[in-house]
Amino acid sequence: MQVLPLSASSQYIAGVVLLTIVTIEFGGWFLTKIVRGQVPMTEFQRNFARAGHAHAGVLVTLGLVCLVLADATQLTGAFGWIARLGVPLAAVLMSAGFFLSSTGREVHQPNRLIVLLWLGALSLAAGVVTLGIGLLVA
């Protein structure tokens, strides 16, 4: 089995994505404070904090895998960038949507920043569909 190096684009993106894991670690630490009752939150806010943290971790991991897979395709230009950045961007947008739409005191429903969650879902779909098609036609 031959191991191919990452393209320069994928290598740079992977480096940045790996650095974001520190923020996910901080989020995990913050969640431990929430579940111990040290941070006053409504049930809605606790649920959104857990969802934001979980989406960040899973999507960052998937984003790193997608970088390797994107390099196995013939995708270039805009399609290559969508395949490489769709999932990592979704990790940022979806997590931000969960966290920012539930900020404040005694919040029981999301505010208008929930739109970030849906933009993240679109980014995720664009990234995985582009990459999936790219792999099928490679």
Asked whether residue 3 is assigned to any structural domain, the reply reads: no
Asked whether residue 101 is assigned to any structural domain, the reply reads: yes
Asked whether residue 14 is assigned to any structural domain, the reply reads: yes
Asked whether residue 85 is assigned to any structural domain, the reply reads: yes
Angstrom distance (rounded) from CA 97 to CA 83: 22
pLDDT value at residue 5: 83
Joined together, the tokens standing for residue 29 give 């630490």
Asked whether residue 2 is assigned to any structural domain, the reply reads: no
Render pLDDT for 92-119 as a digit per residue (tens, 0 to 9): 999 999 999 999 999 999 999 999 999 9
Render pLDDT for 26-85 as a digit per residue (tens, 0 to 9): 999 999 999 899 999 999 999 999 999 999 999 999 999 999 999 999 899 999 999 999
pLDDT value at residue 1: 54
Secondary structure of residue 57 in the 3-state scheme: helix
Residue 127: CB partners within 8 Å, gap ≥ 6?
Answer: 66, 82, 83, 84, 85, 86, 87, 89, 90
First to last CA, the chain: 18
pLDDT value at residue 74: 87
What is the tally of structural domains in the chain? Answer: 1
Asked whether residue 1 is assigned to any structural domain, the reply reads: no
pLDDT at residue 2 tops 90:
no
Asked whether residue 74 is assigned to any structural domain, the reply reads: yes
pLDDT at residue 3 tops 80:
no
pLDDT value at residue 95: 97
Asked whether residue 40 is assigned to any structural domain, the reply reads: yes
Range of the domain at 124: 8-137
